[in-house]
Amino acid sequence: MLDLLAGFVTELRNAGLPVSLTENLDAMQAVQHIPIEDREAFKYALGATMVKNNAHWRAFETVFEVYFSLRGPEYSLVEGQDEFDDMWREMQEQMRDGEGKGAAGGSMDSLTPEEMAHLLMQALMNGDQALMRALARQAVQRFAGMEPGRPVGGTYYLYRTLRNLDLDAMLEKLMEASREQVGGELTPLEERLEHDEYNERIEQFKKEIEAEIRRRLVADRGAEAMAKTLRKPLPEDVEFMHASRDEMQSLKKALFPLTRKLAARLARKRRHGRKGPLDFRSTVRHSLSYGGVPAEPKFKYPRPAKAELMVVADISGSVAAFARFTLMLVYAIQGQFSKVRSFVFIDGVDEVTDYFRGVEDIQEAIHRVNTEADVVWVDGHSDYGHAFEVFWERYGKDVGPKTTVLLLGDARNNYHASQAWVVKEMRQKARHVYWLNPEPRSYWNTGDSIVGDYGTHTDGVYECRNLRQLEAFVEKLA
Amino acid sequence: MGHRFDSVQQVRDGLKDVHYLADEGIAGVVFLADRLGKPVLVEGPAGTGKTQLAKSVAEATGARLIRLQCYEGLDESKALYEWNYKKQLLRIQADRNSDAWSEIHDDIFSDEFLLTRPLLEAITADDPVVLLIDEVDRVEVETEALLLEILSEYQVSIPELGTIVAKQIPLVFLTSNNTRELSEALKRRCLYLHVDYPDMDREKEIVLTKVPEVSANLADQIARIVRSIRQLDLKKAPSVSETIDWARTLVLLGIDHIEAQQAKETLHILLKYQTDIAKAAKELSIDK
């Protein structure tokens, strides 16, 4: 047991979770107080002592599943099978009773695909947990085509299984069935509720399948190797440019509390600034109440001018996600700047400040930016040179000594002219010019990336591949 | 030393008796906190019953609840203890001529002149207490350090008096709305519990316990609608307390089956932003 826990903790640390020695000891102690057979309690005991950040919970769950859940009795291959076969037989009885048609009997393996689909539909309809789990096992066994020792990731098997099950069509069928049940049309509200309900059940079923695949892989390759392949970056370490849809969701979720924290921290920084020089006038005024003795010296607190911010972002293809996040972050803390103006470009450039004005919902503004802004000049391939030139022509006069300009993009210019002089002139007029690049540093200046050409004229080029780096930069900026 | 609970199940039952429905995770962590004698740091979205958990645990164990509400600018004299200097002054003046200096000195720094504040009070209490440190994320990082000694050792050091050690280890709950990252030192000393929105079945149960007049059918509908609303991308998802308010409203209006129209009209109880309300109304009635 001790070895297992030690390996578990090592894996957590490898996954990026900060588990300290005392927390490890606490976990060992906590485990003694709960019945070891109670998997849920065991999980919460470990979680409460070792995971102190909710964003890390999912990573913890994955590792836990690999290390512990799969060793439970309910998962052992041989005994479990009987149990499910029993249940299957029972189900079959019911089917015979109900509809007068029965399969060949015996075990689940002999099911035809149609019967299986029918069974699955019933399980989903009634929310029958046990049957769903049994079907998940059966589906994996049948469709995933897993072979021991084959070096293929779990997602591949998951994809194969789901393709065969066609759950989208299943959802439609379920909706239809519930419509029939009521006899006629559902109101839109009911329709929506039913839809969500079934969706949730199907999601649950998918999770069962995933767990099943994982369990088989662990049995095949061992927990340590498996945990390694399952390791996923924490939300703050996910790269903008390669985030999957799920990861995008969790990024968005992570962004909101982050902006709140950032705003609170910046406001505090502003308030608790250094002391300034003695304010003579105020000191003398206050000395009157002490009979002319300057007993209470007053100081001039510096009130640093808030910066004016101009964001110029490339919103083409792969860097679009990065631009979106930066814009969202900047607007979420716009109170920290005296003025924020934003421009987007691909090969043409357009101002989008108005989209954000008076809008409560930043998401919607971003959506408008993506659909309405006029950013295409010739062919819709990035042309930094032309975009900068036009920007400078149209808005250059607004750049002043208080302005900080943020240029966002990977500087992949499709071999057009760089027009780096624009950035050079920009820097002469503006307070600061920064460049944020979502690509890893090692890719810079390879292929058609000319970030170096521009970079020499800026006050700094920063690598911003994930939320952590973006946050660090924005804090420095304000 | 006796424990308050014998098993996780007992925690659940105890909390249920005082109308707090704990899930496996919550009950498990409370049980561990009792066994290990460690504080619990409760985090989660607003309105999911973090503070209520502490109150309910106090009620279930028959303990006194001592609450320290945190705010920016909270300091030692508000959280721990303060010398009652007016009384000290009186004491000195009362026998100005008689006592020797050392005697007075020893005298004025004694228990009699000490004003206890929540933290010290929780430690010196003779009866069982539950200490609730509410919204700990509101104090500055430096002030957090104040709590460290009491959280790990259950003692308070007063320079003039020495160290006061707890007579019995109280159950301690800290709640946080996660407006800032708490320091590692604080987190390390606590068990961590994240309270999220309850799943549909639990929410239904909660509605049924808190609003007894509601019919099972209506409660089911409420829980399902709330779950659908929470899946939308909103500024502020409806909290449990808002769900309960909504249930009460519906009962008062004499509604037993929610139609789209009624849902739309009472939506402002669940959601507090105009954009959210518009979005939810759109999603729930027109879409599909």
Cβ-Cβ contacts under 8 Å, B235 against chain A: 360-361
- ipTM comes to 0.80
Residue B1 has pLDDT above 60, yes or no: no
CA B56 to each of CA A160, B9, B19, B167: distance values in angstroms, whole numbers, following the listed order: 49, 16, 8, 23
Nearest Cα of chain A lies from the Cα of B46 at a distance, in angstroms, of: 12
Domain ranges of chain A: 2-71, 74-100+107-229, 305-477
How far apart CA A337 and CA A270 sit, in angstroms, is: 12
Given pLDDT bands bounded at 50, 70 and 90, which one contains residue B172?
very high
pLDDT at position A80: 43
pLDDT at position A73: 45
Listed as own residue / partner, the contacts of B182-185 with beta carbons closer than 8 Å and 24 or more positions apart are B182/B41, B182/B136, B182/B137, B182/B144, B183/B141, B183/B144, B183/B145, B184/A18, B184/A20, B185/B144, B185/B145, B185/B148
Nearest Cα of chain A lies from the Cα of B276 at a distance, in angstroms, of: 9
Does residue B14 contact residue B61 with C-beta atoms inside 8 Å?
Answer: yes
Domain ranges of chain B: 8-71+125-194, 200-282
Region B40-57: mean pLDDT is 88
Asked if A265 lies within 8 A of B180 by C-beta distance, the reply is yes
Q: How far is CA A209 from the centre of its chain?
A: 23
How far apart CA A168 and CA B140 sit, in angstroms, is: 51
Residue B11 has pLDDT above 90, yes or no: no
Residue B194 has pLDDT above 60, yes or no: yes
Given pLDDT bands bounded at 50, 70 and 90, which one contains residue A248?
confident
Q: Over the stretch A190-233, which tens digit does the pLDDT of each residue have?
A: 777 777 778 888 888 888 777 777 777 777 666 666 666 666 66
Considering the domain B8-71+125-194, what is its CATH architecture? 3-Layer(aba) Sandwich (3.40)
pLDDT at position A19: 85
pLDDT at position A100: 39
pLDDT at position A151: 60
Please identify, in words, the CATH class of the domain defined by A305-477: alpha beta
Q: Which of B32, B194, B286 sits opposite A30 (nearest CB)?
A: B32
pLDDT at position A74: 46
Region A74-93: mean pLDDT is 51
pLDDT at position A98: 43
Nearest Cα of chain A lies from the Cα of B22 at a distance, in angstroms, of: 13
Strands B129-134 and B64-69 come out as parallel
Q: How far is CA B57 from the centre of its chain?
A: 10
How far apart CA A52 and CA A235 sit, in angstroms, is: 15
Residue A70 has pLDDT above 60, yes or no: no
Residue B131 has pLDDT above 50, yes or no: yes
pLDDT at position A147: 67
Given pLDDT bands bounded at 50, 70 and 90, which one contains residue B125?
confident
Cβ-Cβ contacts under 8 Å, B48 against chain A: none
Tokens matching residue B101: 């200096």
Q: A52 to chain B: nearest residue by CA?
A: B192
Q: Over the stretch A98-148, which tens digit does the pLDDT of each residue have?
A: 443 333 344 555 667 777 777 777 777 777 777 777 777 777 777 766 666
Q: Over the stretch A402-440, which tens digit does the pLDDT of each residue have?
A: 888 888 888 888 888 888 888 888 888 888 888 888 888
Question: At what angle are helices B200-210 and B240-252 packed, to 10 degrees?
Answer: 50
Nearest Cα of chain B lies from the Cα of A4 at a distance, in angstroms, of: 21
Cβ-Cβ contacts under 8 Å, B273 against chain A: 360
Residue B23 has pLDDT above 90, yes or no: no
pLDDT at position A451: 84
How far apart CA A219 and CA B61 sit, in angstroms, is: 45
Region A322-336: mean pLDDT is 75
In terms of pLDDT, which residue wins out, B111 or B58? B58
How far apart CA B81 and CA B84 sit, in angstroms, is: 9
Q: B138 to chain A: nearest residue by CA?
A: A264
Residues of A with CB under 8 A from a CB of B: 18, 20, 22-23, 26, 29-30, 33-34, 38, 40-41, 44-45, 47-49, 51-54, 57, 187-189, 191-193, 195-197, 200, 257, 260-261, 264-265, 268, 360-361, 363
Residue B285 has pLDDT above 70, yes or no: no
Q: Over the stretch A347-380, which tens digit does the pLDDT of each residue have?
A: 888 888 887 776 666 677 777 777 777 777 777 7
Torsion, Cα B189 B191 B194 B195, to 10 degrees, reads -120
Cβ-Cβ contacts under 8 Å, A191 against chain B: 288
pLDDT at position A229: 66
Q: A268 to chain B: nearest residue by CA?
A: B140
Nearest Cα of chain A lies from the Cα of B43 at a distance, in angstroms, of: 8
pTM beyond 0.80: no
pLDDT at position A286: 86
Cβ-Cβ contacts under 8 Å, B259 against chain A: 187, 189
Q: Which of A47, A54, A188 sits opposite B285 (nearest CB)?
A: A188
Asked if A361 lies within 8 A of B275 by C-beta distance, the reply is yes
Residue A29 has pLDDT above 80, yes or no: yes
Nearest Cα of chain B lies from the Cα of A328 at a distance, in angstroms, of: 14
Q: Over the stretch A154-188, which tens digit does the pLDDT of each residue have?
A: 667 777 777 777 777 777 777 777 777 766 666 77
Q: How far is CA A249 from the centre of its chain?
A: 5
Residue A75 has pLDDT above 60, yes or no: no
DSSP assigned state of B176: E
Single-letter code of the amino acid located at A159: Y
pLDDT at position A3: 78
Residue B132 has pLDDT above 90, yes or no: yes
pLDDT at position A270: 62
Region B36-45: mean pLDDT is 89
How far apart CA A157 and CA A140 sit, in angstroms, is: 8
Region A270-291: mean pLDDT is 77
Q: Over the stretch B67-103, which tens digit does the pLDDT of each residue have?
A: 999 888 888 888 888 888 888 888 878 777 666 777 7
Helices (H), B37-183: 50-61, 76-79, 85-94, 101-108, 118-124, 141-153
pLDDT at position B175: 92
